[in-house]
């Protein structure tokens, strides 16, 4: 049970990291389009 909770916590951290990465890429694309 404890292992499952730790796994879920790691999974959530990875999920947040991926979302931040995608969000950053989208923001970079938008600013790049506006700048150019």
Residue range 3-30, pLDDT digits in tens? 787 778 888 888 888 988 888 878 877 7
Which spans in 1-36 are helix H? 2-35
DSSP state of 20: H
Residues of the domain holding 3:
1-31
DSSP state of 31: H
27/15 Cα distance (integer angstroms): 18
pLDDT reported for residue 21 = 84
Quote the number of domains for the chain: 1
pTM of the model: 0.51
pLDDT reported for residue 36 = 52
Does residue 17 form part of some domain?
A: yes
Does residue 36 form part of some domain?
A: no
């Amino acid at each position: 049970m404890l292992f499952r909770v730790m796994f879920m916590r790691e999974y959530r951290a990875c999920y947040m990291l991926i979302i931040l990465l995608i969000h950053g890429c989208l923001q970079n694309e938008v600013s790049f389009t506006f700048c150019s």
